[in-house]
Structure 1
Amino acid sequence: MCQTITLILLLSTCPLLSQSNNDNSYSVLFYNVENLFDCKNDSLKNDEEFLYNGDKRWSHNRMYKKLTDVSKTILASNGWNAPALIGLCEIENEWVIKQLIYNTGLSSLKYNYIHFECDDHRGIDVALLFKREVFTPLLSAPIKLSEPGSEFFTRDALYVKGVIATDTIHLVINHWPSKRGGSLQSTHKRTRVAQGITAHIDSIKQIETNPKLMIIGDFNAEYTSDVLQSFITKNDIESQLKPNDISNHRIGGSYKYQGQWSLIDHIFLSKNWLENRNYNISHRIVSLPFLLEDDLTFSGVKPYRTYVGPRYNGGVSDHLPVLLNIKRLPPPNH
C-alpha cells in the first residue's frame, strides 16, 4: 500500500545546501533497469517468475550480477562524475535499492534514496537515488494514478521537490503503461496517466510561478506520439533530445523492438528553464559498449538485456539510460 504524502524536512542536512551552492553543475540519469527483483516470494505481488523455481530461474547470483552491472552503468555513465540524481524504474522494493547503493561500487558515493512501496500487481516501482552532499529533498510523495472504481490500475509516479546547485526543482519520475496488446489499443491508458501527471503539475504551478520542472521516465511513447505531444504542450515542457537528433546514429533510441529503435525514455524540462541562457544543458543516450550486443536477427546492435522471454541472456537491461547535464553559467561580467 502506498504511503500518504510525506514531508521530508531534512534539517540535519541543511549544511549540504552550502556545499551544493559551490557547484553549479550536476547530472541526471534515468534508467529502466528491467525487472530488478529480489529472490523472495511476496504474497502480495505477482513475483513468482523471479524465484528459484520460477519461470525465469532467478537466483542470488543472477541478482547480484545485475546489481553489479547496474552500478557499473551508473558509475560509467558520465565519465568521472557520477550522476547527482538517478531515476530508476522496474525496482521491486526498498531492499534491492539498498543492495544497489550499499553493496556495490556505488557505496562510496553516499547515495540516499526515496521510494514508496506501491500496490502494483507485479511489484515494480520507481525510485530516486540522490547524492546526499549535492541534493537536499524538501518534499516527496507518490502520485496515485490508478482509478480502482473504474478498474484502471497502473503504476504510481514519484514526486520529489528539492534543492540542487541553488535550484529548487520539482522532479516527477514516471513509468507509463506499456504497449502490451498494441500501441493503439493501449494509448488510452497512457492518456489517462498523462492527465494525472498534468493535474499534479497544475497544482505545483498554482503555488509557484515558473517552477523548474523535471519530468523523467519510461513513457512507453515516442516523442512524436499524439499523447506525448499533447502532454508536452499542456505542461509547457520540452526535451532537448528529439528523434531527429539521433535518426542517423548507430544508436537510434533507448529501446529496440523487432529491429526498430525508439526513443521512449525521456527527460523533459520546463521550457523556460531549457531556454534560459544562464544554463548550459546537454542531453544524450548512454550507449556504453557493455550495454549493447550484436543484433543477429535485424543487424546492428541492440540493448544487452537480462532476459529474452524466459531465457536468461545475462545482460543489464532492455533499455539504455538517458543522461542530462546541467550547468549554471556565471553572470556575463563575472
Structure 2
Amino acid sequence: MKISLLTIGVVVFLPFLCVLGNAQIHFSVMSYNVENLFDTVNDPLMEDDEFTPAGNRFWTKSRYYRKLQYVAQVIQAAGEWTGVALVGLCEVENDSVVEHLLRRTPLYKEDYQYCMTHGCDKRGINVALLYQRDQFRMLGMEELHVPTAVRERPTRNILHVWGEVLSSDTLDVFVCHLPSRYGGELASRKRRKEAVGVLRKCTDSLFFFRKSPKILIMGDFNDTPQDETLEQELQASPFHEDNLLEENRLYNLFYEASGSHKYQGEWNQLDHILVNGALLQEKQSFYVKEGSAHVFAPSFLLKPDKTWRGIRPFRTYYGFKYEGGYSDHLPLRVTFICKGVKW
C-alpha cells in the first residue's frame, strides 16, 4: 500500500492541532506606579522643573538612566520565565520616557509595544500600557477625560485599551491614576469620586453593549479597598471562592492585600487590580488563575525603615533626598489562564 507524503503530513499535523486547541498558557498582568519617571528635559508647558539637572532634585541623565534600568529589572523579574503580557504603568511623563524604557534597557528583547495618555496634568504625569504583541492584539484605545472645576488643577486621563488575547476573547483594559490625597483624604475625596464616575460610566456601557465583556482595571487609586470610591462607587467586592459570581459586577483581587505603599509607618493598599465576574469563572476560556494575585515584593525592592521600623519600599527619593531606589510603591501581579489557544 502506498502512502503519500500529503497523507503523512495530515496524520502528523492533526494531533498537533488538537494539542494546540486544548493548550493552556499563562498570561501575566502587572500594575506598577514607578514614582516620577521623568526625563531630564524641561518642558516649558509643564511643571517639571524639579526633574531637571538644574532643579531642586538634581535629576541628571545618570539618575534617569539608572531609573530606567531599575524599572526594566522589576518588569523582567515579575515576568519570570514567560514574561509579563500586559504592564500598566503610572507616573510616566511622555512618549520619550516609554520609548527609552523599551528600547534602551534589556526590555528591547521583549518586543513590547505601548500606548499612553497625553493628558493635561500640570506636572505632565501620564499612564501607559505595555503589551506583548504575541499575546495581546490591540484593537483600539481611547482616553477618558476627567472633568475638573474651573479653579481645580486638571487631573490625569484614564486609559482604555481593548484587544484580543490568544483565546480570541476581547479584553477591555483600563489603566488609572486617580487624583492624589493632597490636602487631605477627605478634602480630596470628591475628585477621586468624579474620576471613578467616568470609569464607571464606561464599564457600565460595556456591560450593556457587549454580549460577554471581560474587563480588567488596574492602577493607583489613591484609596484603600474599603474607601467610598472602590467599595461604593465602583461596588468592587472582595473575591472569595464561595462567592456567587456575577458577570456584570467588579471584584477587587487585592481587597485583603497587606499593602503596596507605606506612609508614616502604615502600609496601605492604594494600588488595585479589578476584574468583572466573567474573568473569575474557570468555565471561561480566559480567567484568573486561582491564588495568583499578589503584591510583588522581592527583597531588592525593600529596605529597612529606620524611622518607623520594619521595612519599606526602596524609593527613588525619600522626600527630596535621593535614595537611588526603585519606587515608593510595590507592583501588583496577577496571572490568567488562557485556554484553547486559537492564534
TM-score, length-normalised on structure 2? 0.84
Aligned to 2:50: 49
Aligned to 1:271: 277
Aligned to 2:67: 66
Q: Residues 119, 20 of structure 1: CA spacing in aligned structure 2 closer, same or farther, 3 A cutoff?
A: farther
1:304 & 1:126 partners in 2: Cα distance? 21
What displacement does 1:138 show? 0.4
Q: Given that residues 20 and 164 in structure 1 are in contact (C-alpha distance below 8 angstroms), is that contact kept between their aligned partners in structure 2?
A: no
What displacement does 1:188 show? 0.8
Q: Given that residues 23 and 339 in structure 2 are in contact (C-alpha distance below 8 angstroms), is that contact kept between their aligned partners in structure 1?
A: no
2:150 & 2:165 partners in 1: Cα distance? 39
Find out whether 1:100 has 2:101 as its counterpart: yes
Q: What amino acid is the match of 2:84?
A: P
Alignment length (residue pairs): 306
Aligned to 1:225: 227
Q: Given that residues 146 and 156 in structure 1 are in contact (C-alpha distance below 8 angstroms), is that contact kept between their aligned partners in structure 2?
A: no
Q: Given that residues 174 and 215 in structure 1 are in contact (C-alpha distance below 8 angstroms), is that contact kept between their aligned partners in structure 2?
A: yes
1:101 & 1:107 partners in 2: Cα distance? 5
1:228 & 1:270 partners in 2: Cα distance? 14
| Structure 2: unaligned runs, 5 residues or longer | 1-19, 237-247
1:38 & 1:274 partners in 2: Cα distance? 39
Find out whether 1:287 has 2:297 as its counterpart: yes
2:278 & 2:294 partners in 1: Cα distance? 20
Q: Residues 20, 292 of structure 1: CA spacing in aligned structure 2 closer, same or farther, 3 A cutoff?
A: farther
What is the percent sequence identity of the aligned residues? Answer: 36
| Structure 1: unaligned runs, 5 residues or longer | 1-18, 247-251
1:217 & 1:20 partners in 2: Cα distance? 33
Secondary structure of the residue aligned to 1:74 is helix
What displacement does 1:30 show? 0.4
Q: What amino acid is the match of 1:328?
A: C
Aligned to 2:260: 254
Aligned equivalent of 1:214, options 191, 216, 230: 216
Provide Cα deviations, 1:47-104, integer angstroms capped at 9, x if missing partner: 0000111010000000000000000000001322221000001000000100001110
Secondary structure of the residue aligned to 2:204 is helix
* Cα RMSD (Å): 2.1
Q: Given that residues 34 and 327 in structure 2 are in contact (C-alpha distance below 8 angstroms), is that contact kept between their aligned partners in structure 1?
A: yes
Aligned to 2:250: 237
Aligned to 1:249: none
Aligned to 2:333: 323
What displacement does 1:207 show? 1.8
1:210 & 1:164 partners in 2: Cα distance? 15
Q: What amino acid is the match of 2:304?
A: D
Q: Given that residues 33 and 90 in structure 2 are in contact (C-alpha distance below 8 angstroms), is that contact kept between their aligned partners in structure 1?
A: yes
Q: Given that residues 26 and 165 in structure 1 are in contact (C-alpha distance below 8 angstroms), is that contact kept between their aligned partners in structure 2?
A: no
Q: Given that residues 87 and 126 in structure 1 are in contact (C-alpha distance below 8 angstroms), is that contact kept between their aligned partners in structure 2?
A: yes
Q: Residues 138, 21 of structure 1: CA spacing in aligned structure 2 closer, same or farther, 3 A cutoff?
A: farther
Find out whether 1:306 has 2:312 as its counterpart: no
TM-score, length-normalised on structure 1? 0.87
Q: What amino acid is the match of 1:287?
A: A
What displacement does 1:23 show? 5.6
2:62 & 2:23 partners in 1: Cα distance? 41
What displacement does 1:150 show? 6.9
2:153 & 2:201 partners in 1: Cα distance? 17
